[in-house]
Amino acid sequence: MICLKKGKRNIRFIDDKSMHLQIRCSVFAVCNDGLHDYQDSAYPEKSFGWREIVPPFYTCLCDGVSGAYKSKAFADVVSLACGTSGTKAVTEPKSVRSLGDKWIAQQFKEIDDAYPNAIDINKREKILLDRDSIYHRRAATTLNILEIKQDEAVVSSYGDTVCFHIRGKEIIAQNPPLSADEFTNLPYQINTDTDHLLQSEFITSATPIQTGDILLLATDALAQWLVSDSPDLPQEKRIKSLISISSDDEFDMFIGEERKNKRIHNDDTTMMKIEIKFTGD
């Protein structure tokens, strides 16, 4: 398996303009069992069948931090921004802070809608969103941004949400390149008070794409499960079982069984599977 480290690139150029790039996107999600509300966010939000795309095409998967405040809503704001504009959405000056401002405005509206006549409750809730208040709380999320170009997949990660490039029965690239025991030691995340990220703060990698490739984005519990290895369930079988999933029910049953067997952590679990196909005129 090739793990692309920070700053290293592996690029192949395709000059055949007659080739058309198509993708199929599948998005599956399962909430944790009773720990907290679902916090992940994917863009695109829903699965779609084969369609031709005009590169660059962006996707984004975020894992809202459960210990932070209202992280699901912030993860939704970030995934939408990065899923439509790529890393530009979080690397321009004050870009992340502006996403935080959008999140605050959404929370203010929700508070006004929920407590239109309860002035004390309304005021108490809004103090939590005041950046100058000693009671101020933040939302936070990790993110993994995939940019599909005509000839390659470019991945930019910040945190432990992972993109796997699968070819056949093998993972040929992984970003970030974490081993199974490293997932609890990667605290990188952006929050609603962050100004912006530097491009150099991302772990960025690029690999050539070809027909049959699968780009699989996974939040930390599933990613950790995939890079684990055991005699009863070697990685080749793990890859096969994941890429064969084609429905929400199958994903629910799969995660439920792995939790029952204590092979995967009880956490929000989200997977985005992007399948690649080139066709001629």
For 91-125, what is each residue's pLDDT tens digit?
999 999 999 999 999 999 999 999 988 889 899 99
pTM over 0.85: yes
Taking all residues of the chain, what is their mean pLDDT, rounded to a whole number? Answer: 91
Q: Looking at the predicted structure, is the pLDDT value of residue 3 above 80?
A: no
3-class secondary-structure state, position 70: coil
Q: Give the integer Cα–Cα distance in Å for 93 and 96.
A: 8
For residue range 194-253, list pLDDT tens digits in order: 999 999 999 999 999 999 999 999 999 999 999 998 888 899 999 999 999 999 999 999
Q: Give the integer Cα–Cα distance in Å for 147 and 153.
A: 6
Q: Give the integer Cα–Cα distance in Å for 29 and 247.
A: 10
Task: Please spell the DSSP secondary structure of 156-202, one letter per residue.
Answer: EEESS-EEEEEETTEEEEEES---GGGGGG----EETT-----GGGS
Nearest to 141 by CA among 85, 199, 81: 81
**Is residue 131 within 8 Å of 193, Cβ to Cβ?**
yes
pLDDT above 90 as % of the chain? 83
